[in-house]
Amino acid sequence: MVYNKTKKVLARQEKLRKKILAAAKEVMAEDTAGKFSIKSIAQKAGIATGTFYLYFANKEALIEIVVQDLYAELLAIIKEERARYTDVFDKLRASMEVCIKTFLKKRQMAKILLVYFPEINSTINSKFTHIEKDLINFVKEDIDQLLAEDRIPPQDSLVSATAFVGTFREVMLSWLNTEEEVDWEQAYNTLVEYNMRGIGKK
């Protein structure tokens, strides 16, 4: 006979699954390299190492889920913010603003997406390259529209969009690695202005 799970058990398992994911994010955000162990995650989640494998197929699958998870979260935040504006420049500016602020607020997310992600991106079968492209294409579409509206000088929109995203990665990474206090307000403005000028806002 096959037993069915009760709601109570289902709820407990769902909770544990989330607990493991949370522990994984913590661990991943802590030790910068791709060196974390399943054992450390299990420990942090308060389970036996074997139990981990009842919830996730293997390490690779876990990483994939964590990254997709965080990425989806970030993307949703950006999309929501963009929806508030109609002018493309405003959309762009809003994207930048919310992106920076989210990363500043959710350091864990920033660390995993910015530091960890590029590593695994090359290690694991490139399941994630699309994420990179997604983000760049996002910006590219805005630039294309601005080009169509003749509001910025001619340029290779893909290259510009790539450069645009690159400024973020680099700046956020430098912030993640630094201990010193940063004047966020000024830094943020500089970054936004840099890219606005970069694409050629008149």
Examine residue 125 and tell whether it contacts DNA (CB under 7 A): no
Give the residue, chosen from 49, 68, 123, 177, that forms a contact with DNA under the rule CB under 7 A: 49
E strand segments, 27-102: none
Nearest distance, CB of residue 65 and DNA, angstroms: 13
Choose among 30, 20, 98, 124: nearest CA to 66: 20
Choose among 1, 157, 47, 169: nearest CA to 96: 169
The sign of the torsion formed by the CA atoms of 30, 34, 36, 41 equals positive
Partner that binds at residue 39, options DNA, a second copy, none, CB closer than 5 to 8 Å by kind: DNA
E strand segments, 78-156: none
Give the residue, chosen from 11, 14, 30, 58, that forms a contact with DNA under the rule CB under 7 A: 58
Rounded to an integer, what distance in angstroms lies between the CA atom of residue 126 and that of residue 64? 11
The sign of the torsion formed by the CA atoms of 50, 53, 33, 168 equals negative
- Nearer Cβ to DNA (51/189): 51
Q: Which residues bind DNA (CB under 7 A)?
A: 1-6, 8-9, 12-13, 16, 35-39, 47-55, 58-60
Q: Which residues bind a second copy (CB under 8 A)?
A: 32-35, 115, 118-119, 122-123, 129, 132, 136, 153, 155-156, 159-160, 162-171, 174, 177, 183, 186-187, 189-191, 193-195, 197-200
